[in-house]
A and B are shown apart, each in its own frame.
Chain A
């Protein structure tokens, strides 16, 4: 349990910065296919924004943004999104993650690759964010635990 810091400058600055950091992280995730970025990097930046809130506002107040109990289930949800896209392509007759086969859903070749990679990056981003935040929560909770 981390207590809130006493310094008002820290609290106000971190509350002001967090939406911009998260917006930048979303930009990084979505632009992963055509430029630098992708799931890992965007997920890491999202996790950094939440850890900033945890450190400056304390654990109780920042629970409103990301509850501690959400950590591991969201991680599994992200991994399941990844694998369900892979299985979807296998169901349509191709190999694992063969995006050409997603064309049966009504996309052309470029569109199926684009949406396939986008969904996978979003899944990976959610998984990475929740895993890093849950590692941080575990390590910070243990210090005064049993």
Chain B
């Protein structure tokens, strides 16, 4: 039982972030809070990838010029880190587009609350 909680700390933290992000996206009424929820959700997934790339007793994946034998189990996996760079850029772009949409919505409807918006659109 203890092993189930303590041995899988990473997955509990990532699940917490994902659930908090989903809650923000789906339940909150203010549009800006939805965008923040989306950001937290994507950060949770990025954290999952980056943390799953680590290995026990391994060091950063930078090879010195003097190293003769490269044993790949001594270095952490750099591939998920590079994938997550792209995912962070995607997250920034989506946030940029969402904020631009929010500014236009605010200029047009003078409110950012979802229920008032739906009433105005009927």
Contact = CB atoms under 8 A, between A and B. Distances in A.
Interface residues of B, number: 13
A139 B98 CA distance: 11
Interface string B85-116: 11011001000100110011001000000000
The DSSP consensus for interface residues of chain B is helix
Nearest to A39: B85
A4 interface: no
Closest 4 CB pairs of A and B: A135-B96, A142-B103, A35-B62, A40-B85
Interface of B: 60, 62, 85-86, 88-89, 92, 96, 99-100, 103-104, 107
18 contacts: A35-B62, A36-B60, A40-B86, A40-B88, A40-B89, A41-B85, A128-B89, A132-B92, A135-B100, A138-B100, A139-B99, A139-B100, A139-B103, A142-B100, A142-B104, A142-B107, A143-B103, A146-B107
